[in-house]
Amino acid sequence: MSTAEKLFEKARVLPESTQVALLQFVEALAAAPEAIPAKPKPQFGSAKGLITIGPDFDEPLEEFKPYME
């Protein structure tokens, strides 16, 4: 079953007012396909420099001192 057929089957059982709203929504989508933004392709390394690690990153945490003794 195609996507259009599945959509039609679901829409058939909706109340009339909801069918009208669905039709208006689909017409709005068809009128402005460029309004749906394309998902950008992720670029390797695009987050470089956004995350920094503090100089004390490898230092033991105070909370774990009892476990380390």
Q: Determine the pLDDT at residue 33.
A: 65
Q: Each residue of 24-41: pLDDT tens digit?
A: 998 888 887 676 677 888
Task: Tell me, yes or no, whether 42 lies in a domain.
Answer: no
How close are the terminal C-alpha atoms of the chain, in Å?
66
Domain interval for residue 12: 1-37
- Distance, CA of 56 to CA of 36 (rounded, Å): 45
- Indicate whether 17 belongs to any domain: yes
Contacts with 68 (C-beta within 8 Å, 6 or more apart), sequence order: 60
Please, which pLDDT band fits residue 21 given cuts at 50, 70 and 90?
very high
> Does residue 20 belong to any structural domain of this protein?
yes
AA identity, residue 26? V
- pTM value surpassing 0.85: no
Q: Which residue has the tokens 């709203």?
A: 21
